[in-house]
Amino acid sequence: MDVEQVLGLVKERLGIRSNVRDSYITAIVQGVITELEDEQGLKLEADNFSHLLFVCDFVTWRYQSVSNSETNFTGQPISMPRHLQFRLHNLIIHVGGGKK
């Protein structure tokens, strides 16, 4: 998976035009890719647009969430959005994820 391509797409989605946050967003991109490959056992394909867009959406959510320990206005922990959970589960089933 091309980190620079993901970075560019995430910045476009967020409307970021400067390079000031590039190192932070790049670290999130690398962390998400590593997590999906090492912890979830996914084999991400660079030329699969479904994989690319999932990684971009996941990185965007991570960037906007700042911390998984945050809470919403009712005091409930913020969790991964349902659409990301659904897509991740489908990827795991389709690509054959899981620990080796």
Residue-wise pLDDT tens digits, 30-63: 999 999 999 999 999 989 999 999 999 999 999 9
Residue 76 lies in a domain: yes
Residue 83 lies in a domain: yes
What global pTM score does this model have? 0.83
Residue 100 lies in a domain: no
Please determine, for residue 84, whether its predicted confidence score (pLDDT) is greater than 80. Answer: yes
Q: Which of 73, 60, 51 is nearest to 29 (CA)?
A: 60
**The pLDDT of residue 46:** 87
Expressed as residue numbers, the domain containing 38 is 3-95
Residue 48 lies in a domain: yes
Quick one: pLDDT band at residue 74, thresholds 50, 70, 90?
A: low
Quick one: pLDDT band at residue 70, thresholds 50, 70, 90?
A: low
